[in-house]
Amino acid sequence: MYQNLALLLLLFCLCPPQTLASDPDPVQDFCIPNTITSKLNLVQCKNPKLVTSDDFVFSGIKSPGNFSDIGLSTIPVNPTIFPGLNTLGMSFVRADLKPGGINPPHFHPRATETVFIVQGKVYSGFVDSNNRVFAKIIERGEVMVFPRGLVHFQMNVGKSSATVFGSFNSQNPGMQKIPNVLFGTGINDELLEKAFGLSTRQISMMRRRFLPKRLN
């Protein structure tokens, strides 16, 4: 018996560990934050008897938001603006693209994303860790998935506006836009020049475009 037990322990030690990443499972049906008593990150749940149907309905994505100079409008929806999502391990976003508009390369470090084309025709894809591109044009009614942590992108290739609904398996997926990460932060200019073969002037131009604007 002891030999069998020792063999099992040895096999257990030799087996590679499996890592499962997701938001913690909730320990109650829901937790609508009580904003009156919430302090720092210690969120207290509202008394369930005071919770109503309105706490689980969000009406803020009926229309597009403001468009940027790249023809993109996004309305992220997370527990901060929709408390009904709190502890449920999910969030979503409405994105609208004008004809020719783009959602530049970016990634979400903490979530896989599925995108549903509500209307329009969108060139959509992602790049895997072997630098292989998986991309195609998807249209109304089609869904595409972007695996967690992989760079992905979209461009409206139709003649009319496109609307996309994105869903995440985390209430806080995070997002890093590649152009902003490279040229909108404090990465050393010389490093960027050597990495991209750009001149000092070109790096300066890129920085002016992507550096956060200072408030006067």
Binding-site annotation, residues for oxalate: 103, 108, 113
3-state secondary structure of 141: coil
CA distance 157 to 80: 33
Residue 89 identity: G
Binding site per annotation, positions for Mn(2+): 106, 108, 113, 152
Which residues are documented as binding site? 103, 106, 108, 113, 152
2: Cβ contacts below 8 Å, ≥ 6 apart: none
What crossing angle do the helices spanning 200-210 and 189-196 adopt, rounded to 10°? Answer: 110
- Rounded Cα distance between 132 and 197, Å, is 23
- Is the C-alpha dihedral spanning 186, 191, 196, 202 positive or negative? positive
CB under 8 Å, gap of 24 or more: what pairs does 211-214 form?
211/183, 211/184, 212/184
Whole-angstrom Cα distance, residue 94 to residue 117?
10
Cβ neighbour number for residue 153 with a 10 Å cutoff: 19
